[in-house]
Structure 1
Amino acid sequence: MRSGSLLALAGVLSACVLTGCNPLPARAAAPTYGYQVVQRFPHSTQSYTEGFFFLDGLFYEGTGMEGQSALMAIAPSTGQPIQKRDLPQQYFGEGIVDWGANIYEWTWKSHVCFVYDRFSFRPVKQFTYTGEGWGMTHDKASIITSDGTSTLRFRNPATFAETRHIVAHDGPKKIEMLNELEFVKGEIYANVWHDDRIARISPKDGAVLGWIDLHGILPDSQRVNAESVLNGIAYDAQHDRLFVTGKQWPAIFEIKLVPKK
């Protein structure tokens, strides 16, 4: 390294000591979008929604709470499960994701991820991992997971081992408490726990590309308690439909994004 470069580096390090350095890029804050409700579907207020996706005309849902956790395939018209598998009593179910002919369902603090045959819900295998399990989705090559922090991890579907990770940020600000996830048109949509907003995250570098403000979509009077929060995103790629729901919400909403006034 040349002496001029050394002097420049020394100046940068001195500035870091005096003012603090933030490794995240200082971009402008991401734009915010509103919503229009297109259609409303029934949803059980018994379902503590932790995982959610749409496939082949059905909603698939993973629910939480020890003794109440389950994987379900649900008919949109009735909100009733047409297929269900309960988790053993000791597990708190979390995110779910489809991968080929299988469905993965992991757990909050038990470090166990169950893998089922998607058509019969028969157990196929299971994985272990470190840290907490929150949300799951996938792109073409990886399973993408959240753990309640600002970090999203990309995992090998064959081993569940992490291959890389990104940190979600809106400009220089990290976005913590990332929860249920969905991959939509090349972006990762993420619920933020206890926030009626969805972050639209770049899978390349974690930059928040936009926000979806869902305040008011379900009145407080229709929420069971303070934990009945927004937590469920599903996308119907065939018909370009976006759905959202929450823990113990009475409805699933199909929404259309609109510019926020």
Structure 2
Amino acid sequence: MAAVLVCSAACATPPSGPAPGPTRVEVLGTLPHDTGAFTQGLELSDGVLYEGTGLEGRSSLRRIDPETGEVEHRVDLPAPLFGEGITVVGDRIWQLTWQDGVAIERDRHTLEEVRRVTYEGEGWGLCRDGGRLVMSDGSDELAFRDPTSFAETGTVAVRRDGRPVTRLNELECVDGQVWANVWQTDEVVRIDPANGLVTATVDLGGLRPPDVPASDVLNGIAAVPGTDEFLVTGKNWPTIFRVRFTW
């Protein structure tokens, strides 16, 4: 399909700083997406797309064909667990829960639960940055965690133009940087985890399907390995978009 550029007013005003990042999104293709999937986490690894979904009594972890969007396998979380972000670590997948204080480690191939660990506070987004995990909790801080024990090893405060960036949601770690959905906005931001500075802001508002209610926000970002492309979607959206962020 022909590539489409989606741009907002943000395109006319580059972000401040010595090295402005991308501000536009180029749509390269689409996939169907289950409109019953309240997307909380999305990750593409070794040709398999994994999706974590939320809501009490409806939370799940899914294995999806990235070429067709077909759900190949699904496991449901027992109520009252409310599923959140996910990330692949070797032959395991970590899945967060929102206010339950529990992270579930799963077998990557069967999706079955291996063990649970506890943590303080809320769980929102999760990604793997080399030898550590990066986790959001809806605040302006990212926490670093050990990928085996899940113990917290540090935090960083996220700032854009000197101001806190709160409601950091679904995360994707790419090339030492962290991309984050910002809850209740159409923005994704790129964060340098070394200092917490936002180095790019991209407005994806032009991707929102016209019949999707405002409460079904943009959420879900997965890097396509070996490319500069991403898969993005939203809660209960009918479409997953394959995109590239551009200047």
1:72 is aligned, of 62, 70, 81, to: 62
Who is 2:245 aligned against?
257
Who is 1:19 aligned against?
none
**Aligned partners of 1:42 and 1:76 also within 8 Å:** no
**Aligned partners of 2:22 and 2:245 also within 8 Å:** no
Number of aligned residues: 231
Shift of 1:88: 0.2
Query: Aligned ranges for residues 105-254 of structure 1 at < 5 Å?
Result: 105-219=95-209, 221-223=210-212, 225-254=213-242
- Verify: 1:42 aligned to 2:16, yes or no: no
Q: Equivalents in 2 of 1:79, 1:28: separation in Å?
A: 39
- Verify: 1:92 aligned to 2:77, yes or no: no
Q: Equivalents in 1 of 2:66, 2:17: separation in Å?
A: 39
Q: Equivalents in 1 of 2:78, 2:165: separation in Å?
A: 33
Secondary structure in 2 matching 1:46: coil
Who is 2:93 aligned against?
103
TM-score by length of 2: 0.90
Instruction: Give the percent of matched residue pairs that are identical in Structure 1 and Structure 2.
Output: 40
Shift of 1:39: 0.6
CA deviation profile, 1:139-164 (whole Å, cap 9, x unmatched):
11111100000100000112111101
Q: Equivalents in 1 of 2:64, 2:22: separation in Å?
A: 31
Larger helix percent:
1
Shift of 1:58: 2.0
Shift of 1:31: 5.0
Q: Equivalents in 2 of 1:31, 1:174: separation in Å?
A: 19
Shift of 1:177: 0.2
**Aligned partners of 2:84 and 2:98 also within 8 Å:** yes
**Aligned partners of 1:42 and 1:77 also within 8 Å:** no
Q: Which runs of 5+ in 1 are unaligned?
A: 1-26
Secondary structure in 1 matching 2:172: strand
Aligned residue type for 2:27: V
From the CA coordinates, give the structure whose radius of gyration is larger. Answer: 1
Secondary structure in 2 matching 1:216: helix
Query: Aligned ranges for residues 12-23 of structure 1 at < 5 Å?
Result: none
Q: Equivalents in 2 of 1:110, 1:185: separation in Å?
A: 31
**Aligned partners of 1:71 and 1:84 also within 8 Å:** yes
Q: Equivalents in 1 of 2:48, 2:148: separation in Å?
A: 25
- Verify: 1:55 aligned to 2:45, yes or no: yes
Aligned residue type for 1:144: V
Aligned residue type for 2:152: E
Shift of 1:28: 4.2
Aligned residue type for 2:168: L
Q: Equivalents in 2 of 1:122, 1:31: separation in Å?
A: 39
**Aligned partners of 1:222 and 1:249 also within 8 Å:** no
Q: Equivalents in 1 of 2:229, 2:24: separation in Å?
A: 16
Q: Equivalents in 1 of 2:190, 2:131: separation in Å?
A: 19
Secondary structure in 2 matching 1:195: coil
Q: Which runs of 5+ in 2 are unaligned?
A: 1-15
Aligned residue type for 1:218: R
Aligned residue type for 1:255: V
Root-mean-square deviation (CA), in Å? 1.5
